[in-house]
Amino acid sequence: MEDGKLTVRAVERALDILLCFTEAEDLSLTEISARVGLHKSTVHRLLASLEGKGFIIRHPATERYRLGFRIWELSANLTHSDDPAVILLPELERLRDQLGETVSLYVRDGLERVRVQAVQSNQAIRRVAPIGARLPLYVGASSKVLVAFAESSEQQALLADPAWPPSADPAAYEQQLAEVRSLGYATSVEEREPGAAAVSVPIFDRAGKLAAALAVSGPSNRLTVELMKEHAPLLMDAARRMGKMLR
231 contacts: CB under 8 Å, gap ≥ 6? 99, 199, 216
- Assess contact for 214 and 242: CB atoms under 8 A: yes
What's the pLDDT score for residue 76? Answer: 61
- Output 57 or 130, whichever has higher pLDDT: 57
Would you place residue 246 in the very low, low, confident or very high pLDDT band (cuts 50, 70, 90)? confident
Q: Which residues of 75-108 are buried (b: 16+ CB within 10 A; e: fewer)?
A: eeeeeeeeebbebbeebbeebbeebebbbbbbbb
Query: Which residue, 173, 235, 224, 176, is CA-closest to 197?
Result: 224
pTM higher than the cut 0.85: no
What's the pLDDT score for residue 93? Answer: 93
Would you place residue 170 in the very low, low, confident or very high pLDDT band (cuts 50, 70, 90)? confident
For residue 20, give the DSSP letter: G
Model confidence over 68-115: pLDDT tens digits? 888 877 766 655 556 788 889 989 999 999 999 999 999 999 999 999
- Assess contact for 184 and 177: CB atoms under 8 A: no
Q: What does the DSSP assignment read for 57-72?
A: EE-TTT--EEE-HHHH
Query: Which residue, 129, 138, 125, is CA-closest to 216?
Result: 129
Q: Mean pLDDT in the chain? A: 89
What are the φ and ψ backbone dihedral angles of 235, each rounded to 5 degrees?
Answer: -65, -40
What's the pLDDT score for residue 148? Answer: 97
Distance CA 223, CA 216 (A): 9
What's the pLDDT score for residue 32? Answer: 96
> Across residues 17-31, what is the average pLDDT?
89
What's the pLDDT score for residue 1? Answer: 41
